[in-house]
Amino acid sequence: MSETNLPVNEKFIFNKQDSSGEKLHEEREKSIKNPQDYWAEKAEAIDWFKKWDKVLDDSNEPFYKWFAGGILNISHNTLDRHITTQRKNKLAYIWEGEMGEIKTYTYYQLYREVNKLSKIFKNYGLKKGDRVAVYLPVIPELPITLLATARIGGIHTVIFSGFSAEALADRINDCGAKVLVTADGSFRRGKIVQIKKNADRALEKTPTIEKVIVVKRTCQEIDMKEGRDVWYTDALVAAGGNAYVPPEPMQATDPLFILYTSGTTGKPKGVQHGIGGYSVWAHWTLKWGFNPVDEDIWWCTADIGWITGHTYNVYAPLSLGITSLLFEGTPDFPAKDRWWEMIERHGVTILYTTPTAVRMFMKFGEEWINKHDISTLRILGTVGEPINPEAWKWYFKVIGKEKMPIIDTWWQTETGGFMIAPLAGIDLVPLKPGSATYPLPSIQAEVYDDKGQPVTAGNKGFLVIKSPWPGMLQTLWKDPERFKQTYFGRWENLYYTGDYAVKDKDGYFWLLGRADEVLKVAGHRLGTVEIESALVSHPSVSEAAVMGKEDAVKGEVPVAFIVLRSGFEPSDELRTQLIKHVRTTIGPIATPDEVIIVNKLPKTRSGKIVRRILRAILVSAEIGDMSTLEDASAVDEIKTIYAEIKKKSPK
């Protein structure tokens, strides 16, 4: 692969002008030389009901077992162990609702709420290993539900509340959840979103659900199905005000949660994380990355429907015993300074967000920020997609006042926590805008070419991880073959990330986006095949090819080329209908930016769509070799159609 141009000459050095990264490299060396001893020592940071027999059981690769034989409960580690200390009355959460209402929970209050819901779960007959589906906006009941599920030994699966009824039903059915926790509605930009109606539609085809617990959020009239649906508050009363449920002793290797994420096929993957390894990884990655202290107010802006929210809004900060801010709303409602107003109001000290948010604020302009005193901030972070150097520098200058490091954390749903990131908690190396710097201790990352050989410094290739780490996924729910194939099928015993990367001559990693048919739209992970399946499920569509197109704010947006079935004619109305159809089939995050109706897609003689050509047309690039095409005239036709669309509505 060709050499990549990187802004390698620009170095941003903070505080420790002279840090050579020696301490970090020492720590990395120690962890790689003897991972068993290293992780045995690190695992002491959390409580175990019984210590492990083996730190890493690798007898059945790639199904690694971390802390095999160990017994613990993550709800004990995030709650019970703090309430016997001075942390008891410390704030665990400050929650701010979209309308500005504020609720706080001390560790003790959170512990009590979790116990009450655990009691309800017990009353419903939920047992160890049972699945609980969660379809909630970011309200306190969301982390409470996760912790209560973990407490009784259940397995939670959170479905992002922006997903459709169909997506919800598919996920519930895949994992066979018995209970669903949802709300009577949610707020988005001052309007009510009918999530209970979505849930009801999903529940028509989810035979495993026995009980639905409904949190009152919007207080609107909704349908409650007799015998199945129960109000959360009524259930709490029935559980009794002083409920206590002892945390179930769990094997370290038992599953903690399933989180569905997009892959290269239409069917989302049920990424399964185990209790022991994930607990230790969540704890240490946050400590290493941001080094939060008791006085900090940590704000990770992710929705708990995604992995970032699971690890860095729930398990890691609570395990460390720090105070987190949770926010239900959107950054520009009711005005474009909502976040800065909140940082001022709550004295936020660490802000962890996405490059999309940073680019959006760049667009809004500095005046919104300058209205507020955000001087409590001391450290900044990003996640979810590559951060372009311009956005990085803006974040550093305008928000960070050129005093704070940007902790750019590369990781995935599958990795459980940060994998490559600057580590303020160990040794902050000089930063380069756009690079996530070095891998964390224990992480042996490399960049390979398509033949499975390491590329030389400065060259682009595929990012792989060469050895197991505690936070790694255990498997894909009920699909071990797909797990093996997807992550370890390309090169044996190497974890394939699906990302492009470059390692520069200083050993810094630059993450360059997905190398497969997965998109990152505003940091959200979406499979092109999922969107294509949604499109062809519409009666008018015979074929669809979806790809990402660069977008100045969202990083990329989906664009669809489609061929209609006979009897259907292209029209603006049909295009709008198709966009709406994708929104209702998957959810608003999958909304295609454009639907381009063509007569024929460019295909090889064996019938494979040549996406490279469609991509070239989108960006008006050279088409390149067309010799393999079955009918090259399709290309000119698509070019003409696209040029006409652009003429009509230039973007």
> Under the criterion CB under 6 A, does residue 511 sit at the interface with ligand PRX?
yes
Strand partners, 550: 556
> Under the criterion CB under 6 A, does residue 486 sit at the interface with ligand PRX?
no
Among 287, 338, 432, 514, binds ligand PRX (CB under 6 A): 514
Residue whose CB is less far from ligand PRX, 436 or 562: 436
> Under the criterion CB under 6 A, does residue 528 sit at the interface with ligand PRX?
no
Min dist CB 382 to ligand PRX, Å, is 6
Strands 71-72 and 524-527: unpaired
- Judged by DSSP in three states, 94 sits in strand
Residue whose CB is less far from ligand PRX, 96 or 414: 414
Contact 409, 435 (CB under 8 A): no
Residue whose CB is less far from ligand PRX, 440 or 610: 440
> Under the criterion CB under 6 A, does residue 435 sit at the interface with ligand PRX?
no
Among 94, 300, 431, 436, binds ligand PRX (CB under 6 A): 436
Among 525, 538, 581, 603, binds ligand PRX (CB under 6 A): 525
In the chain the first and final C-alpha atoms are separated, in Å, by 32
Stretch that binds ligand PRX, among 20-28, 96-104, 402-410, 540-548 (CB under 6 A): 402-410
Residue type, 48: W
- Judged by DSSP in three states, 86 sits in helix
Contact 629, 602 (CB under 8 A): yes
Displacement of CA 493 from its chain's centroid (Å): 25
Among 256, 297, 383, 529, binds ligand PRX (CB under 6 A): 383
> Under the criterion CB under 6 A, does residue 548 sit at the interface with ligand PRX?
no
Distance CA 375, CA 354 (A): 20
Q: How many residues bind ligand PRX (CB under 6 A)?
A: 22
Residue whose CB is less far from ligand PRX, 407 or 562: 407
Among 260, 299, 410, 496, binds ligand PRX (CB under 6 A): 410
Output the CA torsion sign for 134, 116, 300, 43: negative
Residue whose CB is less far from ligand PRX, 306 or 561: 306
Min dist CB 385 to ligand PRX, Å, is 5
Q: Identify residues 228-267 at the interface with ligand PRX (CB under 6 A).
A: 261
> Under the criterion CB under 6 A, does residue 384 sit at the interface with ligand PRX?
yes
**553, burial (CB in 10 Å: exposed 0-12, middle 13-18, buried 19+):** middle
Measure Cα distances from 553 to 266, 271, 523, 649 in Å.
26, 28, 10, 19
Measure Cα distances from 383 to 159, 339, 540 in Å.
20, 17, 38
For residue 647, give both structure tokens: 């003429």
Place of tokens 């698509």: 638
Residue whose CB is less far from ligand PRX, 153 or 470: 470
> Under the criterion CB under 6 A, does residue 412 sit at the interface with ligand PRX?
yes
Residues 6+ apart with CB under 8 A from 383: 302, 308, 352, 353, 354, 408, 409, 410, 411, 523
> Under the criterion CB under 6 A, does residue 413 sit at the interface with ligand PRX?
yes
Min dist CB 511 to ligand PRX, Å, is 3
> Under the criterion CB under 6 A, does residue 105 sit at the interface with ligand PRX?
no
Residue whose CB is less far from ligand PRX, 229 or 414: 414
Contact 384, 555 (CB under 8 A): no
Stretch that binds ligand PRX, among 141-149, 187-195, 327-335, 511-519 (CB under 6 A): 511-519
Stretch that binds ligand PRX, among 274-282, 381-389, 555-563, 592-600 (CB under 6 A): 381-389
Min dist CB 434 to ligand PRX, Å, is 9
Among 520, 554, 575, 581, binds ligand PRX (CB under 6 A): 520
Which one-letter DSSP state was computed for residue 624? -
- Give me the helix-helix angle, 35-42 and 22-33, nearest 10°: 110
Measure Cα distances from 445 to 378, 441, 514 in Å.
29, 11, 16
Place of tokens 């022991």: 276
> Under the criterion CB under 6 A, does residue 499 sit at the interface with ligand PRX?
yes
Among 147, 252, 307, 526, binds ligand PRX (CB under 6 A): 307
Residue whose CB is less far from ligand PRX, 93 or 496: 496
Min dist CB 282 to ligand PRX, Å, is 13
* Angle at 529 (CA atoms; ends 528, 532), nearest 5 degrees: 90
Residue whose CB is less far from ligand PRX, 21 or 416: 416
Q: Where are the beta strands (DSSP E) in 152-224?
A: 155-158, 179-183, 186-188, 191-193, 211-215
> Under the criterion CB under 6 A, does residue 301 sit at the interface with ligand PRX?
no
Which one-letter DSSP state was computed for residue 115? H
Residue whose CB is less far from ligand PRX, 431 or 436: 436
Binding site for ligand PRX (CB under 6 A): 261, 307-308, 383-386, 408-413, 436, 497-499, 511, 513-514, 520, 525
